């Protein structure tokens, strides 16, 4: 597969447990991806719903030759959550753990692990420090331009991963916007976030799409789409690309990215097919071009 690898990130939305299970079963059986992340990143209250399916999903993915990575919470706020993250670090066994919060990164120090995109790695010093603690792979924040991505990839201290498709996780809060929008308190949220399997749209006062809310998480309105930037990113030394799960045919998305990486489709051809697959979706790639994040620069 020419050295380029595809990763499917953890499901960030509150999907029905059976849908979550079947999504990963299909990835195992049909998707041309190398790595699949599992775990609850946004809200610890969701975790018990899919936990019963986790062993079967890990077994199915592993049997299919996929690398499985366990992703941690992005914001640890209670002793229960702290204990759960300690347990994740201690009980992962041979599976790599992705730290999305520095608290669990401390628990993982001294053993191989990875750093997720919700940890701010913006420069060589931070990258070197985390690599020295055992981070062998780092998924960088979305807002970095191509030049910075190349500089970090050139350090050689850890494998660099870039977010290439899907709504980008931008911020996370102690408060639950989803619950508040339904006049509910976070502790009695009734899991209303499950009503929006692709996130809840947030518009400006004049009705323009602006952001997306997913429980306590703020996400981009547009889907990231770096199909056109794959050649430049690979030339810069980036060889691993993350696809965020969305409420769409992710196997078809993965096949398009795989075809583009393998040279079976040009960036223009793959981009056109992605647009046909998701006709109602607006795309963005502004950050990698050093522009505002919501911008889209068409491939030449």
Is residue 295 in a domain? no
Check if the beta carbon of residue 1 is closer than 8 Å to that of residue 30.
Answer: no
What is the extent of the structural domain holding 138? Answer: 5-168+220-289
What is the C-alpha separation between 122 and 208, in angstroms, rounded? 31
Neighbours of 67 (CB within 10 A): 15
Q: In this structure, what CATH number is given to the domain that contains residue 264? A: 3.20.20.70
Is residue 118 in a domain? yes
The structural domain count of the chain equals: 1
Is residue 177 in a domain? no
Is residue 149 in a domain? yes
Is residue 252 in a domain? yes
Is residue 32 in a domain? yes
Is residue 109 in a domain? yes
Is residue 89 in a domain? yes
What is the C-alpha separation between 86 and 140, in angstroms, rounded? 24
SS3 93: coil
Check if the beta carbon of residue 39 is closer than 8 Å to that of residue 10.
Answer: yes
| Triad 212, 149, 294: Cα angle to 5° | 30
Give pLDDT tens digits along the chain (300 positions).
Answer: 468 999 999 999 999 999 999 999 999 999 999 999 999 999 999 999 999 999 999 999 999 999 999 999 999 988 999 999 999 999 888 999 999 999 899 999 999 999 999 999 999 999 999 999 999 999 999 999 999 999 999 999 999 999 999 999 999 998 998 999 999 988 889 999 999 999 999 998 888 888 999 999 999 999 999 999 999 999 999 999 999 999 999 999 999 999 999 999 998 899 999 999 999 999 999 999 999 999 999 876
Check if the beta carbon of residue 108 is closer than 8 Å to that of residue 99.
Answer: yes
H and E: helices and strands count for the chain: 11, 12
């Amino acid at each position: 597969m020419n050295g380029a690898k595809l990763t499917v990130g953890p499901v960030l939305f509150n999907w029905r447990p059976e849908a979550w299970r079947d999504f990963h079963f299909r990835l195992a059986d049909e998707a041309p991806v190398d790595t699949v992340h599992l775990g609850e990143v946004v809200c610890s209250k969701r975790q018990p719903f899919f936990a019963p399916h986790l062993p079967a999903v890990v077994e199915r993915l592993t049997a299919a030759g996929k690398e499985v990575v366990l992703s941690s919470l992005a914001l640890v706020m209670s002793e229960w959550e702290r204990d759960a993250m300690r347990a994740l670090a201690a009980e992962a066994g041979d599976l790599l753990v992705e730290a999305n919060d520095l608290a669990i990164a401390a628990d993982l120090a001294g053993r191989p692990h990875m750093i997720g995109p919700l940890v701010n790695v913006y420069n060589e010093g931070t990258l070197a420090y985390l690599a020295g603690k055992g981070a062998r792979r780092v998924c960088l924040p979305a807002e970095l331009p191509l030049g910075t991505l190349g500089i970090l990839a050139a350090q050689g201290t850890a494998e660099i991963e870039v977010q290439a498709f899907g709504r980008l996780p931008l911020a996370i809060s102690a408060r639950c916007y989803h619950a508040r929008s339904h006049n509910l308190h976070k502790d009695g949220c009734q899991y209303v976030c499950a009503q929006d399997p692709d996130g809840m749209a947030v518009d400006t006062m004049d009705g323009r799409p602006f952001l997306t809310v997913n429980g306590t998480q703020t996400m981009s309105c547009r889907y990231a789409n770096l199909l056109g930037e794959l050649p430049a990113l690979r030339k810069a030394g980036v060889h691993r690309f993350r696809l965020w799960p969305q409420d769409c045919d992710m196997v078809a998305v993965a096949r398009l990215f795989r075809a583009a990486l393998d040279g079976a489709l040009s960036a223009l051809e793959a981009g056109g097919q992605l647009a046909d697959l998701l006709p109602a979706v607006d795309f963005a790639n502004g950050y990698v071009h050093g522009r505002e994040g919501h911008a889209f620069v068409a491939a030449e």
